[in-house]
């Protein structure tokens, strides 16, 4: 009796600290763009990391957490299936079956492989039990018995890849255990932008806006030539309006001009991009498509911007976070270089 009331008291206290779960059920379609975060609070190496997409053969995207692939902000859920509309791919299960633990790969493709079906569900955030979060609960691998779960296991370069662990299974690969994870829907603006490996240069589709979605509108262009944001007070000099792959004809190589890291923001300014790249240890920073910030420590000679006033007209998209400032254009990058400490810091002269 005594013991029972203590337990009841303890659970009442727990309930009081819990988040509020809305009564209205969630739709199995989420059209507002989101990122996916994984949680397993007992596994620090994977907890709270965000899903990246990595371009593979045939336009497929393989799914990773950690320093591999492209941070992806514009996922949607359509009838319980995770979609990345800009790439025309959706999450499926199939292939690379592992004999050791009977797991199968979860990836994204435009082909007809059986889908992974999820159900959005409200839950309390284990990191902050007062906060309500939306989780994608795994329901089934299409045409297979319901159940099982999504897990991640160590892949390469410190990354983990996504797998499906079937129902009724109890096999574990001791050399690389597949860690069960909860998938959490996060608004597209949330979370850090994971730095990506050099492979991103060939894995980033050219000129697709990183955050394009059915609801976002195209950036504004005004076409005032010769205008650029002066960042010399912040220690960055303007080099010009640099072409992305699509603008170099014939194409020199596939990929981004500043391929190392990208950050996308609905409130981007050139200053915010300079500070982001600088803090991430890069000397080149470039803004593009109003809302993208790209960084690298070098770029190809074929991507060197012109020095004519006319060339600046291509970088005429108003920054998503500053009405009076330009942040690149469509496949054009407003390119800046960090000035040497103590040295001169002057923008290129355009004639």
Ligand X SMILES: *[C@@H]1O[C@H](CO)[C@@H](O)[C@H](O)[C@H]1NC(C)=O
Residue 89 tokens, joined: 């791919």
Would you count residue 43 as binding ligand X (CB under 6 A)?
Answer: yes
* Least distance CB 43 / ligand X (angstroms): 5
Burial class for 325, CB neighbours closer than 10 Å (0-12, 13-18, 19+):
buried
State which residue, 180 or 207, has the beta carbon closest to ligand X. 180
* Least distance CB 184 / ligand X (angstroms): 12
- Contact (Cβ atoms closer than 8 angstroms) between residue 255 and residue 246: no
Would you count residue 137 as binding ligand X (CB under 6 A)?
Answer: no
Residue written as tokens 């592992």?
A: 98
Binding residue (CB under 6 A) for ligand X from 5, 12, 23, 42? 42
Would you count residue 133 as binding ligand X (CB under 6 A)?
Answer: no
Which CA distances in Å does 163 have to 153, 203, 285, 328?
7, 21, 35, 38
State which residue, 179 or 331, has the beta carbon closest to ligand X. 179
Three-state DSSP state, 5? helix
* Least distance CB 39 / ligand X (angstroms): 7
Residue 63 tokens, joined: 């799914």
- Contact (Cβ atoms closer than 8 angstroms) between residue 337 and residue 236: yes
Taking the C-alpha atoms of residue 262 and residue 264, their distance in angstroms, rounded to an integer, is 7
State which residue, 84 or 165, has the beta carbon closest to ligand X. 165
Judged by CB under 6 A, the chain residues 291 through 310 that form the site for ligand X are: none
Taken in order 27, 169, 110, 248, the sign of the CA dihedral is positive
State which residue, 182 or 260, has the beta carbon closest to ligand X. 182
Binding residue (CB under 6 A) for ligand X from 40, 188, 196, 311? 40
Phi first, then psi: give them for residue 171, nearest 5 degrees: -85, 140
* Least distance CB 42 / ligand X (angstroms): 5
**Helix or strand run (H / E) with residue 154:** strand 149-154
State which residue, 176 or 347, has the beta carbon closest to ligand X. 176
Segment interacting with ligand X (CB under 6 A) among 37-45, 53-61, 113-121, 201-209? 37-45
* Least distance CB 103 / ligand X (angstroms): 11
* Least distance CB 41 / ligand X (angstroms): 6
Strand partners, 125: 128
Q: Enter the DSSP assignment of 272.
A: H
Three-state DSSP state, 245? helix
State which residue, 30 or 151, has the beta carbon closest to ligand X. 151
* Least distance CB 47 / ligand X (angstroms): 9
* Least distance CB 177 / ligand X (angstroms): 6
Segment interacting with ligand X (CB under 6 A) among 41-49, 221-229, 316-324, 328-336? 41-49
Taken in order 184, 187, 192, 198, the sign of the CA dihedral is positive
- Dihedral through CA 65, CA 68, CA 72, CA 77, nearest 10? -50
State which residue, 103 or 257, has the beta carbon closest to ligand X. 103
Q: How many residues bind ligand X (CB under 6 A)?
A: 8
* Least distance CB 40 / ligand X (angstroms): 4
- Contact (Cβ atoms closer than 8 angstroms) between residue 89 and residue 147: no
State which residue, 134 or 313, has the beta carbon closest to ligand X. 134
Judged by CB under 6 A, the chain residues 167 through 206 that form the site for ligand X are: 179-180, 182
State which residue, 42 or 279, has the beta carbon closest to ligand X. 42
Segment interacting with ligand X (CB under 6 A) among 36-44, 212-220, 321-329, 335-343? 36-44
Angle ∠(30,203,162) on CA atoms, nearest 5: 55
Q: Site residues (CB under 6 A) for ligand X?
A: 40-43, 151, 179-180, 182
């Amino acid at each position: 009796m005594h013991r029972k009331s203590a337990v009841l008291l303890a659970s009442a206290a727990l309930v009081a600290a819990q988040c509020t779960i809305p009564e209205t059920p969630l739709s199995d379609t989420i059209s507002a763009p989101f990122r996916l975060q994984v949680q397993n609070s007992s596994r620090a190496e994977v907890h709270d990391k965000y899903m990246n997409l990595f371009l593979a053969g045939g336009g497929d995207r393989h799914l990773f957490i950690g320093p591999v692939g492209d941070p992806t902000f514009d996922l949607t859920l359509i009838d319980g299936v995770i979609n990345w509309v800009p790439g025309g791919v959706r999450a499926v299960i199939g292939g690379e079956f592992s004999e050791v633990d009977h797991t199968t790969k979860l990836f994204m493709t435009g082909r007809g492989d059986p889908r992974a079906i999820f159900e959005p569900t409200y839950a309390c955030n284990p990191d902050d039990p007062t906060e309500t979060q939306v989780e994608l609960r795994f329901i089934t691998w299409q045409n297979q018995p319901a159940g099982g779960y999504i897990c991640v296991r160590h892949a390469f370069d410190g990354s983990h890849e996504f797998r499906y662990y079937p129902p009724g299974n109890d096999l574990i690969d001791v050399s690389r255990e597949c860690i069960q994870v909860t998938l959490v829907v996060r608004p597209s603006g949330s979370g850090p932008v994971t730095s990506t490996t050099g492979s991103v240069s060939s894995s980033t589709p050219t000129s697709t806006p990183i955050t394009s979605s059915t609801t976002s509108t195209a950036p504004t262009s005004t076409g005032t030539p010769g205008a650029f944001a002066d960042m010399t007070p912040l220690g960055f000099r303007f080099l010009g309006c640099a072409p992305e792959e699509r603008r170099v004809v014939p194409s020199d190589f596939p990929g981004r001009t500043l391929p190392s890291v990208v950050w996308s923001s609905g409130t981007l300014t050139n200053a915010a991009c300079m500070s982001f790249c600088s803090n991430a240890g890069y000397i080149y920073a470039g803004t593009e498509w109003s809302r993208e910030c790209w960084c690298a420590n070098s770029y190809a000679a074929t991507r060197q911007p012109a020095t004519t006033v006319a060339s600046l007209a291509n970088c005429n998209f108003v920054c998503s976070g500053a009405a009076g400032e330009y942040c690149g254009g469509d496949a054009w990058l407003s390119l800046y270089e960090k000035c040497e400490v103590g040295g001169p810091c002057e923008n290129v002269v355009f004639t």
